[in-house]
Structure 1
Amino acid sequence: MPYFELSGFESAALIQTFDLQYDLISALVRRWRLESHTFHLPCGECTVTLEDVALQLGLAIDGSAVTGVSARAEPATLCYSLLRASPGDDESNFSGLKFTWLKANFEHLSVNATEEELMCASRAYIMHIIGGVLMPDANNNRVHLQYLPLLADLHNVRSYSWGSAVLAMLYRELCRTTKPHAVDIGGCLLLLQSWALYRMPFLA
């Protein structure tokens, strides 16, 4: 927990997952309007805001933008430098880390773990939170490697506006899912559902 507090992910690390109400999410998607990024409801327009992200997820909404790194090391080198482990040779060209691999390598820590091992495990857990809860894609089975370099210095992680990135991805996924060919949705659906139930308690 001290490393999560250091990085600004202490609240996100404590997020409790719960069953999603897909009928509610589908109803919201049907009412999403691309041109205004709002839900059109009988009572008017509304949307998830940065304030909602800060209050419900405890993430920073000010700071540097979360963007991909333009020039990064080879995936295996990057993983070894920040996690002290890397997926096998069969995935030498990987662009993301599978959750199964993260769990297999970082679920258990020795009671005598060094500070470096604790920091690597913290990075791995934050990567799991990012890809599994905060910014999952529609497949929801891995996290993109682009986020790992941003976790290199855990003191600096909180300087990024993670909340803005979470909201931007949710908006993007809502826009993508309104298209006829879309079959699934990514983004922080926990945020979307909890926002709807908090802001419109009659839905509960």
Structure 2
Amino acid sequence: MRERRRRRRIKKLAGFGSAALIWTFDLRYDLISALVERWRLKTHTFHLPCRECTITLEDVAVQLGLPIDGNAVTGISSISRPATLCYELLGRSPSEGKFASLRLSWLKANFEYLPSTANEQEVMQVVRAYIMHFIGGVLMTESNGSTVHLMYLPLLSNLHNTRSYSWGSAVLAMLYRELCRTTDHSTMDIGGCLILLQSWALYRILFLA
């Protein structure tokens, strides 16, 4: 119990404590599909019968509790020594060769449980793995929904500084990108923070009708 409290405290310190609460929400795919059909590429807005509207940074801050000010969330697309980076920040690596992403299933299998004897460094490693899983599984999901890019891991090296990044801006930008991608009718799936899209619709559209 003490280790769980310490893990929650560190996640909150890193800026992900409030956002993590949305993980238990179920997605309503009928609602999401209806919104996707009303997205317009040129204006980045939803065309609704009552008016045009869109998701803003204020919505991200209010509904997810993510920071929207600060440094841009950027990284390099190819990390020269990925295994070394993983050993340094996670304490283990899925491979000794070249790789650009981590499988969410690997993160869950290796970091789901925190030993009662874990020291401070091990707690930090588990929290980093949890945040990586949260980024890839909820906040900035790829269309395949099974991996998270390694580029985010260096940003978690010092968890005390992690909240200095504008994670909310990155989440919104990726959701916009995915909505724009789905304007191509041949697209069969969508990534991005769909729980944000759903919660925004449930909260905002009621007041626009």
TM-score, shorter chain, exceeding 0.5: yes
Pairing partner for 1:82 from 89, 93, 97:
89
Contact 1:177 1:184 in 2 (8 A): yes
Pair 1:149 & 2:154 matched: yes
Separation in 2, partners of 1:168, 1:113: 37
Q: Give 1:35 deviation, angstroms.
A: 1.0
Question: Partner of 2:5 in structure 1?
Answer: none
Structure 1 residues 202, 65: CA separation in 2 closer, same or farther (over 3 Å shift)? closer
Pairing partner for 1:32 from 39, 42, 64:
39
What whole-Å deviation, never above 9, does each CA across 1:94-138 have from its counterpart, x for those lacking one? 211111110111111211101000000000000011110100011
What whole-Å deviation, never above 9, does each CA across 1:65-108 have from its counterpart, x for those lacking one? 1011377441111100100100034xx22211111110111111
Separation in 2, partners of 1:32, 1:15: 24
TM superposition score normalised by structure 1 = 0.94
Contact 1:69 1:149 in 2 (8 A): no
Number of positions where the alignment pairs a residue of Structure 1 with one of Structure 2? 201
User: Amino acid of the residue matched to residue 12 of structure 1?
Assistant: A
Question: Partner of 2:58 in structure 1?
Answer: 51
- Of 16-25 and 31-40, deviating more is 16-25
Pair 1:179 & 2:188 matched: no
Contact 1:53 1:167 in 2 (8 A): yes
CA-based RMSD: 1.6
Question: Partner of 1:198 in structure 2?
Answer: 203
Aligned identity (percent) is 69
Separation in 2, partners of 1:14, 1:21: 17
Pair 1:162 & 2:167 matched: yes
Contact 2:77 2:100 in 1 (8 A): no
Can you give the 5+ residue segments of structure 1 that lack an aligned partner in the other structure? none
Question: Partner of 1:116 in structure 2?
Answer: 121
Separation in 2, partners of 1:162, 1:61: 6
Pair 1:14 & 2:21 matched: yes
Question: Partner of 2:9 in structure 1?
Answer: 2
Can you give the 5+ residue segments of structure 2 that lack an aligned partner in the other structure? 1-7
Q: Give 1:19 deviation, angstroms.
A: 2.4
Structure 1 residues 94, 71: CA separation in 2 closer, same or farther (over 3 Å shift)? closer
